[in-house]
């Protein structure tokens, strides 16, 4: 995952950061990978506390984008979180990441707000769009 993150991220995580989220008993964290053959094609990393989760990372190899793999990973994360009885998932995404924003909205996430100047970029700082998705109805 760390090698793929170096390909896709301007601020990649270290191997130790990824190891922290590999499934271990009772650590309230998880990661999913998508492989084609022997090649890692994508990954997702998440954590939860009580009934609320955060999607920390999701990525697909640039050579395999726009083929539905991001959606498959996101759906798998949602299913894993629902199995943990998580009621809501939060995430943040770069404002310029139109493809990810579209995927999240299409998957039922809604825009909750903005964190100004959150992400560093080559021009200074970029805003983060805050999003969430509820997995249970408000009536429950």
Closest residue by Cα to residue 11 from 117, 101, 94, 119:
119
Q: Kindly report, residue by residue over 94-117, the tens digit of the pLDDT.
A: 999 999 999 999 999 999 999 999
Q: Which pTM was predicted?
A: 0.89
Judged against a pLDDT cut of 50, whether residue 138 lies above it is answered with: no
- Strands laid side by side in the 88-94 sheet: 29-36, 39-49, 52-60, 88-94, 124-134, 110-121
Is residue 45 packed enough to be buried (19+ CB in 10 Å), middle (13-18) or exposed (0-12)? Answer: buried
The alpha carbon torsion through 110, 40, 6, 3 (nearest 10 deg) reads 140
The domain spans of the chain are: 2-134
Q: Kindly report, residue by residue over 76-88, the tens digit of the pLDDT.
A: 999 999 988 999 9
104 catalytic? Reply is yes
pLDDT at 101: 97
Q: Which of 21, 43, 46, 92 is catalytic?
A: 92
Q: Kindly report, residue by residue over 37-94, the tens digit of the pLDDT.
A: 889 999 999 999 999 999 999 999 999 999 999 999 999 999 999 988 999 999 999 9
pLDDT at 17: 87
Burial of 22-36, coded b for 16+ CB within 10 Å and e otherwise, reads eeeeeeebbbbebee
- φ/ψ region of 34 (left if φ > 0, alpha if ψ in -120 to 50, else beta) reads beta
**2-134 belongs to which homologous superfamily?**
Gcn5-related N-acetyltransferase (GNAT) (3.40.630.30)
Angle at 113 between CA 111 and CA 117, to 5 degrees: 125
Q: Which of 21, 43, 46, 104 is catalytic?
A: 104
């Amino acid at each position: 995952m760390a090698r793929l993150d170096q390909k896709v991220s301007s601020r990649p995580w270290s191997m130790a950061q990824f190891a922290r989220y590999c499934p271990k008993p009772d650590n309230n964290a998880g990661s999913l990978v998508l492989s084609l053959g022997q090649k890692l094609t994508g990954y997702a990393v998440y954590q939860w506390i009580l009934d609320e989760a955060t999607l920390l990372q999701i990525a697909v190899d640039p050579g395999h984008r726009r083929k539905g793999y991001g959606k498959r990973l996101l759906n798998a994360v949602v299913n894993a979180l629902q199995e943990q009885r998580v009621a809501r998932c939060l995430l943040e995404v770069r404002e310029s990441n139109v493809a990810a924003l579209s995927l999240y909205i299409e998957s039922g996430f809604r825009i909750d707000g903005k964190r100004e100047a959150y992400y560093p970029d080559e021009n200074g700082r970029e805003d983060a769009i805050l999003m969430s998705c509820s997995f249970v109805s408000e009536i429950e």
